[in-house]
Amino acid sequence: MSSQAKSRRCAVLLPTFRLSYLQFCLAVMGASTLISAQAMAATAEEELADEPSATLDTIVVKAAKDELKQAAGLSIIGEKTLENQPVSNDIAEIVRKMPGVNLSGSSTSGQRGNQRQIDLRGMGPDNTLILIDGRPVTARNAIRLGRAGERDSRGDSQWVPPSAIERIEVLRGPAAARYGSGSMGGVVNIITKSPTQAEYSITGHYEYPENDLEGASWRTGVNMAGPINDKLSYRTTLGYHDSKPDDAYINADSAVTDSKGNKSIAAGREGVQNVDVRQLFEYAMDAINTFGVEVNFSNQKNRWAGDSQFQVINEDLINDLYGTTTNELTRYGVALTHKYNTNNTRANSYLEFNRMDNERLGEGLAGGGEGQIATPENGDRQWTKSKYDTLNAKSEWDLYFDRHTVTAGGEFRGERLNDSASNQQKIADGSIDIPGTSNDPSSRDPISKSYLIGAYVEDNYQVTDDWFVTPGLRVDYHDKAGVNLSPSLNSTWHFSPNWSVKAGVSRAFKAPGLFQLNPNYVYYTKGNGCPDGQNSAFAGGNNGGGCYVLGNPDLDNETSLNKELTFTYDDGTGLGAGLTYYHNDYKNRIAAGYTDFDPEIADQNKAGVYRWENQGDAIIEGLEGFVTVPVTDSLVWNTNLTTNLRSERKDNGEALSLIPRYTVNTNVDWNVTPDWYAGLGVSYYGNITAPKRSVTTNDPLQGELLDVKPYAVVDVNTRYQVTDSLSLGAGVKNLFDETVKREGTGVNAGARTFNEPGRYYTASIKLDF
């Protein structure tokens, strides 16, 4: 393709981006013939499946289509595991069973508590980088960020139908630093099925709750793939999922009572309708070069169950809106890919553009009404719409020579948000003059944007037959937060035929988000959301005029220094075990400010004026362990343990995430016959301690704040291959009906910020043609 043709293609894809983005697009496409790579090293080609892994497990991974594999810092969930232990729709349901993984909200506030997302090593969902085929997914950034750091977002782990997934790779620890911004906790890479793998199938899955206060769920998927001719292959994916909301009053019996005798009833889980369409074509030009074009479309509509950011159940809204759609997310895009493969070089490049349309009923922007849909008496409801565009490009290559595997690459991420709804909060009717923030909401620029450019190199060096050392360095430039260096060093020593020790250290980072950087996104509260100048450890607060929190264009990158030490055992027959100690020093954590940044401005209206700020440090440390036992040729027992030894903010001692003190997952997989599978899984969750201070003001929390007591969830599944083209499955989730009911909303939720659903009966079917 000529440079002019490449320019035209980029121009068509990027009409909303500045010339600088277009120039970078040209540079990446022009360089792709010289420098290309795997988007993620763990996405090794299928031909590696039968080769021994000669390097660190986190650098080169055997392809694992059909099983669950556990290793230090890495877990692989294969296609067969997804069929035998099906999820309702969101892969977070099965990823949470891997070591080092839990589900949590974005902070400890309890707001949007049922919007639980993947949380790796207690670093919070925003520090978990979600990838689809090695390409970053940041669609949740289209959702307004509340003062506590929460979003009304389901996260980014349900944009691909489960039936279209070949495997899921969960990477934790220092090796994840190479993947750039957002990977401080780790990486979850969703690998879709190859177009060269012939398939014509229809799948169906249904879940029915025993408790009629909980919502049923069903999904179906159609997958078609295979070669069109000797060079061209295709894959078509269609998916549909529909889940009903919980009853609006499912938590009524568990709600706390406030000082006035009123119950603080929190909403249950909302339902959702997902539609997914993906179309991929791959053209094998020769034995070395393969080009691909993929387009995707996803639409998610919620089924509202009564939730809001702070307020309890509102009967008027329930009568009017329960079960209807109050927000709709539409994500669509196109990706161009190039794979390069010779005897000593493997490479992958991509250029991807995505748009997210975020449409929702207008919500309050200030104080106790923040995130609350307008009630009928407050006027007509109106739909708002924002558009979030991303442009991602990456080119990476692996060179194999002598005892080295050298990986080098470059990456670009651009994001642009056009949101004229979330920045409309007034500033005291214009009576306060805040430099850099317009008093008139109608004059504020609805567009905010940023970009990041990164380059990295890594050398996996086999020093001796038993010792591997992997030094690496990544350099990133963010147009608002500046330059960040991410050095890393990993090493593995096989000190006996069956035993090895691994050690790693890295510096990872996360760039500030658009809502945090832009001073035109204004939060205002009249009183309760302000730090108490009398009792708080911080100055300022409400002196009669409430307080404001503004975006801050001077934020620095968040960083973490991640260290781990692992011992593993592998006897070569399937028996294996490992124990990892990890320690993360979290620095420059971004949160809504406590310190009044300009007292003179505040004095104009006796209001506190705060900004998002880099607040300080935190420490996270824990243990991860796993054991795999092949009891017989047909029965395998897998167990993993995660212990949260310490999660502590240095400014107030509070935890970063509401996760269990320890988690144990154990699973027995039994292939009774070649056609019959049976499985038993148990997940045991330890105590979750309620926070003692407000995440927004740092003031002590009042009232009855309950911990989550330890509980266990037992799942049973079976699947039978009836014929070559028909398989049937059945199961029971949460066999003993162990539930958690949400205690409240906002700061009165304690640790019981979520609903753990009760007993569900499942049935599934797959037809191959």
Per-residue pLDDT tens digits for 619-639: 999 999 999 999 999 999 999
Q: What is the pLDDT of residue 159?
A: 97
Most confident of 15-29, 230-244, 366-380, 579-593: 230-244
394 within domain boundaries: yes
Cβ neighbours of residue 64 under 8 Å, at least 6 residues apart? 49, 76, 78, 167
Whole-angstrom distance, CA of residue 647 vs CA of residue 660: 11
Q: What is the pLDDT of residue 8?
A: 36
Burial class (CB in 10 A: 0-12, 13-18, 19+), 769: exposed
Q: Indicate if 89 and 15 belong to the same structural domain.
A: no
649 within domain boundaries: yes
Mind listing the pLDDT tens digit for each residue in 67-93?
667 667 899 999 999 999 999 999 999
369 within domain boundaries: no
pLDDT confidence band for 18 (50 / 70 / 90): very low
Q: What is the DSSP string of 296-357?
A: EEEEEEEE--S--SS----HHHHHHHTTS-SEEEEEEEEEEEEEEE-SSEEEEEEEEEEEEE
- The SS3 of residue 193 is coil
Q: What is the pLDDT of residue 580?
A: 97
Q: Indicate if 595 and 742 belong to the same structural domain.
A: yes
Burial class (CB in 10 A: 0-12, 13-18, 19+), 140: buried
Asked if the model's pLDDT at residue 520 lies above 70, the reply is: yes
Phi/psi for 675 (5° steps) reads -110, -5
Q: What is the pLDDT of residue 705?
A: 83
**Distance (Å) of CA 748 to CA 263, 523, 549, 694:** 11, 21, 22, 9
pLDDT confidence band for 721 (50 / 70 / 90): very high
Asked if the model's pLDDT at residue 607 lies above 80, the reply is: no
pLDDT confidence band for 743 (50 / 70 / 90): confident
Per-residue tokens: 264: 């603080």
Q: What is the pLDDT of residue 41?
A: 33
Q: What is the DSSP string of 89-135?
A: S-THHHHTTSTTEEEE-SSSS-TTTT--EEEETTS-GGGEEEEETTE
730 within domain boundaries: yes
Place of tokens 């080169």: 60
How confident is the model over 140-148, as a mean pLDDT? 89
- The SS3 of residue 428 is helix
Q: Indicate if 27 and 171 belong to the same structural domain.
A: no
Q: What is the pLDDT of residue 262?
A: 67
Per-residue tokens: 430: 């214009």
377 within domain boundaries: no
Whole-angstrom distance, CA of residue 518 vs CA of residue 448: 7
| 381 beta partners | none
Q: What is the pLDDT of residue 67?
A: 62
pLDDT confidence band for 378 (50 / 70 / 90): low
Asked if the model's pLDDT at residue 250 lies above 70, the reply is: yes
Nearest by Cα to 155 from 128, 133, 186: 128
Q: What is the pLDDT of residue 52?
A: 31
How confident is the model over 693-715, as a mean pLDDT? 87
Q: What is the pLDDT of residue 652?
A: 87
Give me the long-range contacts of 217-221 (CB less than 8 A, separation at least 24): 217/88, 217/89, 217/241, 217/242, 217/243, 217/244, 217/271, 218/242, 218/243, 219/88, 219/89, 219/161, 219/162, 219/274, 221/161, 221/162, 221/163, 221/164
> What's the pTM value of the predicted model, to 2 decimals?
0.90
- Domain CATH for 62: 2.40.170.20
Q: What is the pLDDT of residue 31?
A: 37
Cβ neighbours of residue 15 under 8 Å, at least 6 residues apart? none
Asked if the model's pLDDT at residue 694 lies above 90, the reply is: no
Most confident of 302-316, 329-343, 546-560: 329-343
Q: Say what percent of the chain tops pLDDT 90.
A: 66
Q: Indicate if 91 and 146 belong to the same structural domain.
A: yes
Per-residue tokens: 743: 């205690």
326 within domain boundaries: yes
Q: Indicate if 138 and 197 belong to the same structural domain.
A: yes
Q: Indicate if 62 and 10 belong to the same structural domain.
A: no
Q: Indicate if 8 and 92 belong to the same structural domain.
A: no
662 within domain boundaries: yes
**Taking all residues of the chain, what is their mean pLDDT, rounded to a whole number?**
86
Q: What is the dihedral sign for C-alpha 583, 588, 592, 594? A: positive
Q: Indicate if 634 and 697 belong to the same structural domain.
A: yes
Name the residue range of residue 12's domain: 1-31
Asked if the model's pLDDT at residue 534 lies above 50, the reply is: no
Asked if the model's pLDDT at residue 56 lies above 60, the reply is: no
Burial class (CB in 10 A: 0-12, 13-18, 19+), 259: exposed
Q: Indicate if 239 and 267 belong to the same structural domain.
A: yes
Q: Indicate if 627 and 707 belong to the same structural domain.
A: yes
pLDDT confidence band for 599 (50 / 70 / 90): low
Q: What is the pLDDT of residue 528?
A: 65
Whole-angstrom distance, CA of residue 658 vs CA of residue 707: 10
Q: Indicate if 138 and 113 belong to the same structural domain.
A: yes
pLDDT confidence band for 24 (50 / 70 / 90): very low
User: Which H or E run contains 601?
Assistant: helix 599-603
Most confident of 62-76, 172-186, 672-686: 672-686
According to the 3-state scheme, what is the secondary structure of 667-726? EEEEEEECCEEEEEEEEEECCECCCCECCCCCCECCCCCCCECCEEEEEEEEEEECCCCE
Q: What is the pLDDT of residue 441?
A: 85
Q: What is the pLDDT of residue 259?
A: 57
381 within domain boundaries: no
Mind listing the pLDDT tens digit for each residue in 407-449?
999 999 999 999 989 888 887 655 667 778 888 888 889 999 9
Asked if the model's pLDDT at residue 2 lies above 70, the reply is: no
How confident is the model over 732-736, as a mean pLDDT? 98
Q: What is the pLDDT of residue 129?
A: 96
Q: Indicate if 278 and 131 belong to the same structural domain.
A: yes
Range from 9-23, 331-345, 462-476, 496-510 carrying the lowest mean pLDDT: 9-23
Whole-angstrom distance, CA of residue 671 vs CA of residue 650: 49
* Overall number of domains in the chain: 2
